[in-house]
Each structure stands twice: as C-alpha cells, then as structure tokens.
C-alpha cells in the first residue's frame, strides 16, 4: 500500500512539475515571469522615440507648404533669436541671423513685399529687387536643424537598443549574473531568486 501511494505521489509531483515547466516561457531561458510585458514595454518606448523623431522632422520647412505671394508690410519686432514680421494682418517668423535686419528696419508701413511662406515661417523676402531673406539660407538652416534632431534621436535609439540587448543577455543568463540581473528585473519577476 505504501509503495503504491509513494509511486502515485511521485507521479503527481512529476506531472505538476512538468505543467509548471511547460507554462514557463522559453523566452529569456525561462528565467523571467511574464516576458511579454518586458517586450511590450521595449517596443512601446522604441515606438515613442521614433514617433517623436518623426514629429520633430515634420516641423520646419516643407516645399509642399510653400506659398509665393505679395504681402503688405505692417511692422516687425525682435523675439529672442527670431524676427517677427506682421504682413497683411498676419505674423510670420524668420531667423534673425539669416535676415538683412538693416533692410527690414528701413521698410515703411504699407510697402509691398514679395515673399515665400511655409505656414507661419518666412522662407524668402524680396523688396525692390533686394533679398532681405534668401531662400537658400533659410532652407540650409532648416536642413542643419533637422540633421541635429536626427543625430540626437539616433543616439537615443542606439542607447535604448544597447540597453535592450544587455538586458536580454543578462536575463537569459540570470544564474551567471546574479547581482547584475537586479538592475534589469525586479527579483519578484525572476523564476529563480538570484544568489546573494
């Protein structure tokens, strides 16, 4: 009777152990509970970085938004490193460092300017066959800004991917890096608690 109970208990324990093992994910060598949560967070954060980069790249000048028109000058004022011109009742901005500020200061109210605008941004200003803002300068400044934004987000994404790669390696080899694994995973998420 005792042997049969022992055999039944052993068989039950084995089935229980196998059930627990089969429910354990093969991701990260089964060292982490709920590995899908980690992957979801990694993907969401990477998507957030890429989304911010796309949003920043869509600000600025785009040739599809260019409008060439004649507008009436009503006034201008300086705002930090920008100059704001009021033309035909609407305000337009331009980088002060790119503009001929002396030429703009000499303008009188009511004078007609030939301009190229992109939304509320000035791309080119011409008055009396004189360029007060060159289109080439405005476009090259915008390209430089976008390149710096791309470099920043590229570095950010690279650091994030390095962090993800390091955490995957450490979580897959949790028994080899018992102290290091605590930097990437809470001990409660580990299937086997790390050694002290």
pLDDT of 110: 92
Q: Which ranges constitute the DSSP H helices of 1-124?
A: 2-23, 35-58, 101-106
66-79/82-87 β-pairing: antiparallel
- What is the C-alpha separation between 14 and 139, in angstroms, rounded? 71
Q: Under a CB-based contact definition with an 8 Å cutoff, are residues 81 and 95 in contact? A: yes
Does the pLDDT of residue 9 top 70, yes or no?
A: no
- Is there a domain that residue 103 lies in? yes
**Count of structural domains within the chain:** 1
What range defines the domain where residue 83 resides? 64-142
Average pLDDT over residues 147-176: 91
pLDDT digits (tens, 9 = 90+) for 24-71: 556 777 778 888 888 899 999 999 999 999 998 888 788 888 999 999
For residue 3, what is the enclosing H or E element? helix 2-23
- Is there a domain that residue 8 lies in? no
The CATH number linked to 77 is 2.40.50.140
Does the pLDDT of residue 18 top 70, yes or no?
A: no
- Is there a domain that residue 168 lies in? no
Higher-confidence residue: 123 or 59? 123
Structure pTM?
Answer: 0.68
Q: Which class for 18: exposed (0-12), middle (13-18), buried (19 or more C-beta within 10 A)? A: exposed
- Is there a domain that residue 126 lies in? yes
């Amino acid at each position: 009777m005792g042997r049969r109970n022992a055999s039944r208990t052993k068989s039950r324990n084995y089935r229980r152990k196998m059930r627990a093992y089969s429910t354990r994910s093969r991701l990260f060598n089964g060292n982490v509970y709920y590995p899908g949560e980690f992957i979801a967070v990694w993907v969401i954060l990477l998507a957030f970085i890429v989304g911010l980069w796309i949003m920043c790249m869509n600000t600025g000048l785009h040739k599809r938004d260019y409008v060439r028109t004649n507008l009436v000058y009503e006034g201008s004022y300086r705002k930090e490193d920008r100059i704001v011109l009021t033309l035909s009742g609407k305000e337009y901005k331009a980088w002060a460092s790119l503009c001929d500020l002396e030429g703009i200061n000499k303008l009188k109210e009511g004078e007609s300017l030939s301009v190229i605008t992109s939304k509320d941004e000035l791309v080119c200003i011409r008055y009396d066959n004189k360029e007060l803002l060159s289109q080439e300068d405005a476009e090259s400044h915008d390209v430089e800004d976008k390149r710096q934004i791309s470099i920043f987000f590229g570095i950010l994404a690279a650091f994030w991917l390095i962090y993800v790669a390091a955490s995957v390696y450490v979580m897959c080899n949790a028994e080899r890096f018992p102290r290091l694994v605590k930097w990437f995973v809470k001990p409660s998420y580990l299937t086997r608690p790390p050694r002290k």
